[in-house]
Structure 1
């Protein structure tokens, strides 16, 4: 198994794919999967409310969506015969969901969890012995084909089964394989990371307003600048330090701004935030276990 795989080198996922729970993260994975070419007719999703089911059917024509409030067996029906089952309910409900679907799972169905902080051991204890299990940490840019996903395999998961799990995500972003003990760090950088970029755009817009720009204009400039910089970073082998230096002329305006950031120890502030996010993920794991 290679260290990572990318959307451009992976075919659409094959077999039937089930999404149990379809909140913001599981819908991001679902949207990326469909955008990558997997037919909607090969996918089943479950939600609680009929209204949400109808919303998803309208948004993704051909998708089968079952509502638990109408059919208490919706989750079991969705996983029956599935090649991959993606569990996207809240962390507190993951082990209960594992127990409830266990009788309906096929021996070869690869169970993939997108729930933060719930350990492989906790899920394996609630699943049939030997059930292939992969824990993931995706992020919301999967919706636009630029996601980042960390995958960790449970005991006994074959390379082929791990590839099947990766194929669910690979059409919409970069997939990396890491040991489970590194998933909290992955969560701190890429899972929470989109919020950091949005936070930066907010701060830039506020700074523009403070400098006298119209608020809407400042927001437009901040939004387009962060989005454009992201596209430059998305190029193969892009180096953020090199890109920054290319914009930073000696004794120019950008150099003065970077000096102010350094004086405020901005890199240390960002590192402290990432450490806090990783520590909170570890806390949640302990609370759930």
Structure 2
């Protein structure tokens, strides 16, 4: 990818920040990135001060300057926001969407042009270059567009190219996944406090435990159930702990969590279509 590519982010929330943080550590210079949002000037000032990126309150101007436009607003604001920049988007531009649940065809319809759209689902670990991102090709996107998007997201972690119908599942699994891990750590820290461990010592032990377990999974060919059994001695402490998790149906809860997040991704897409239809049907003033 050419180093002089200009990238405009529509939206300045946590996902946009994570991506920008990772991107400027690798392939892009801050001045190649423009950030705009709906109305939060303080947020734009923070992004400029923290990352050195360019900011712009005029969304149409920000879009016209871009080679790549990244849609990173809240899904509930997507219909209105995309409609507001549609006239500024040209068919030569690549549109990358990180909007949970929103199909590429919906975006093309909202823009009203045969524009190349690549849909992506990264996670916030992009901020430290450790995102797990899946991307999918829209109807008017070429393999070259997919390659550009893949290169962009490889600056913040690993990338898998998947059929678009799999992205709802990806959203529920890895897109939301870091929050599940953080929730587990919250519980472990609470338990450490209740059993009397020093907070700082406990945090170090918890984090290294999670890092070590992840690396074991990554570097061995063993199934996680095998690794678990290797830690679990009959009649020992681990077995006693696992029995409590089984009593509380821990695995069932995790499976249900991921399924519900997947369903919510599908719902968000339907809600956007409904919102877009209502917006289009509303009488002009």
Q: Name the residue aligned to 2:49.
A: 58
Q: Deviations over 1:123-163 (max 9, x none)?
A: 11111421001122111011111101121221121010111
Q: Name the residue aligned to 2:17.
A: 27
User: Which of residues 269, 277, 282 is equivalent to 1:285?
Assistant: 269
Following superposition of structure 1 onto structure 2, how do residues 32-47 of structure 1 map, counting pairs within 5 Å? 32-47=22-37
Contact 1:84 1:164 in 2 (8 A): no
Partner SS for 1:35: coil
Contact 1:12 1:171 in 2 (8 A): no
Q: CA, structure 1 residues 144+243, in 2 after alignment: closer, same or farther (shift >3 Å)?
A: farther
Partner SS for 1:157: coil
User: Which of residues 123, 137, 140 is equivalent to 2:124?
Assistant: 140
**Whole-angstrom distance in 1 between the partners of 2:3 and 2:235:** 51
Partner SS for 1:273: helix
Contact 1:95 1:122 in 2 (8 A): no
Q: Deviations over 1:172-198 (max 9, x none)?
A: 111112222221111111111111101
**Whole-angstrom distance in 2 between the partners of 1:56 and 1:129:** 31
Q: Name the residue aligned to 1:115.
A: 99
Post-superposition shift, 1:231? Answer: 4.5
Structure 1 position 90 matched with structure 2 position 74: yes
Runs of 4+ in 1 over 4 A off after TM superposition: 11-14, 231-239
Contact 1:17 1:42 in 2 (8 A): yes
Unmatched runs of 5 consecutive residues or more in structure 2: 274-285
| Greater Cα offset, 230-239 or 148-157 | 230-239
Structure 1 position 271 matched with structure 2 position 255: yes
Post-superposition shift, 1:85? Answer: 0.6
Q: How many residues align?
A: 272
TM-score between both structures, scaled by the size of structure 2: 0.85
Q: Name the residue aligned to 2:277.
A: none
Cα RMSD of the aligned pairs, angstroms, is 2.5
Post-superposition shift, 1:64? Answer: 1.1
Following superposition of structure 1 onto structure 2, how do residues 1-289 of structure 1 map, counting pairs within 5 Å? 15-47=5-37, 48-61=39-52, 63-66=53-56, 68=57, 74-235=58-219, 240-249=224-233, 251-289=235-273
